[in-house]
Amino acid sequence: MQRSFNRASAFGRRPSSFGGNSSGTRRPARQGGGRGFQGQRIDPARFVKKAVITEQVEVFVPEHKFADFAIDSRLKVNITRKGYVTPTPIQDKAIPHILRGSDLVGIANTGTGKTAAFLIPLINKVLLNPQENVLIVVPTRELAIQIDDELRGFTPGMRMFSVCCVGGASIGYQISNLRRQHNFIIGTPGRIKDLMERRFINLARFNTVVLDEADRMLDMGFVKDMRTMMMAMPKTRHTLFFSATVNREIEGLINEFLRTPVRISVKTQDTAKNVDQDIVRVGGGKNKLQMLEELLTKPGFNKVLIFGRTKHGVERLYNTLIASGFKADAIHGDKVHSRRQRALKSFKENHIQILIATDVAARGLDIPDVSHVINYDLPATYDDYVHRIGRTGRANKTGKALTFIE
């Protein structure tokens, strides 16, 4: 890699932390940067853990194969074409209950296949009743687009249509799509609420709703929007609620939104079992940025996801790494939708080595073959840490997570 070593121009007058006054998508209580940052005090020892050797992991034996589920034969064909044979634990346990129409709470680690766990039975529901309408609500535009893509992968030849309603994209285009035939709306709370207020979405017609990454939506301050949507839907409805974590607030939402739900938990442990976790102590005459750049030139750092606390800090680090000759891009709340999508696409397709992000990228995204996650800034909570490092060590591969400690 051709790199500039003009340290004065690269970072001579820059702070050694992301810092900044704006944090992207967090609630005010958790915003801020630098010394004013308010987050959990997390014992650094929790950032050190060796990956579990595959031979020591208990093997999950599913009760079903996809061919066993009571679903339409056309859907089975498309599932087979996608290469799905054996369900993951959340799929194996959740799909039969969703097919029966039960309300469901699914608690699962990130990357466990929960999207297919709700898409497959809900696609079958629409096949049985073409008048059925399904609302899927998620915290971020990237996750909404990912779910929409996965839905399309399950429905070739079915004339089943969806509309993706997310902020940062053309609302006019979304309104145009809403005027056409569709069974699924997949979107973020703010944009869905906006379209409801403009009377382009009538949730009284929707009998099925999925609240995915509900803990993240709560964390981002979307609880009022969630309540607005649920109140606009029929009282007798089919509600599916997925969350990686459960606390008192989440339990309150479960009691408020669902009726005698089936509860399924397939969480195995707090952090991804395939991730080697360690810390990087800043010191020895080197600042944080110097240590980061040295890491990024080492062998094996092929596809690196770096997390920072604030959108201004993420942008600052992006510009610094570009000036130093690295192939990098950044995603955060100030980036327009098209730029965020281009950055994700470049990273997924290995056109760039480094993606720098705020926690907007920490949940739900399926980015293949991330070699390292680097927590350049400490996460606000341990739950945020778990979701950040869950971007590596996926699909039974081993990944590495490094957390900077000053």
**Exposure b/e, 225-238, CB count within 10 A at least 16 = b:** bbebbbebbeeebb
pTM of the full predicted structure?
Answer: 0.70
pLDDT at 401: 93
The answer to whether residues 252 and 279 belong to one domain is: no
Span 245-276, pLDDT tens digits: 888 999 999 999 999 999 999 865 545 678 89
Strands (E), 200-311: 208-211, 238-243, 262-265, 275-281, 304-307
Answer yes or no: is 27 within a domain: yes
Q: Is the pLDDT of residue 31 over 70?
A: no
- pLDDT category, 286, cuts 50, 70, 90? confident
pLDDT at 397: 78
Residues 6+ apart with CB under 8 A from 19: 33, 34, 309, 310, 312, 313
Q: Is the pLDDT of residue 26 over 70?
A: no
Answer yes or no: is 60 within a domain: no
Q: Is the pLDDT of residue 313 over 90?
A: yes
Average pLDDT over residues 66-79: 95
The answer to whether residues 106 and 234 belong to one domain is: yes
Domain that holds residue 234: 66-265
pLDDT at 364: 60
pLDDT at 24: 37
Average pLDDT over residues 294-307: 96
Beta 134-137 vs 104-107: how paired, if at all?
A: unpaired
- pLDDT category, 28, cuts 50, 70, 90? very low
The answer to whether residues 77 and 188 belong to one domain is: yes
Q: What's the structural domain count of the chain?
A: 2
Q: Is the pLDDT of residue 151 over 90?
A: yes
- pLDDT category, 59, cuts 50, 70, 90? low
Q: Is the pLDDT of residue 75 over 90?
A: yes
Q: Is the pLDDT of residue 53 over 60?
A: no
Answer yes or no: is 331 within a domain: yes
Q: Is the pLDDT of residue 281 over 60?
A: yes
Examine the fold and report which residue of 216, 245, 265 is the final residue of a domain before the chain moves on: 265
The answer to whether residues 256 and 308 belong to one domain is: no
The answer to whether residues 343 and 211 belong to one domain is: no
Sequential DSSP letters for 360-396: GGSSS---TT--EEEESS--SSHHHHHHHHTTSS-TT
Q: Tell me, what CATH number does 320's domain have?
A: 3.40.50.300
Span 94-139, pLDDT tens digits: 999 999 999 999 998 667 789 999 999 999 999 999 999 999 999 9
Average pLDDT over residues 79-86: 91
The answer to whether residues 333 and 232 belong to one domain is: no
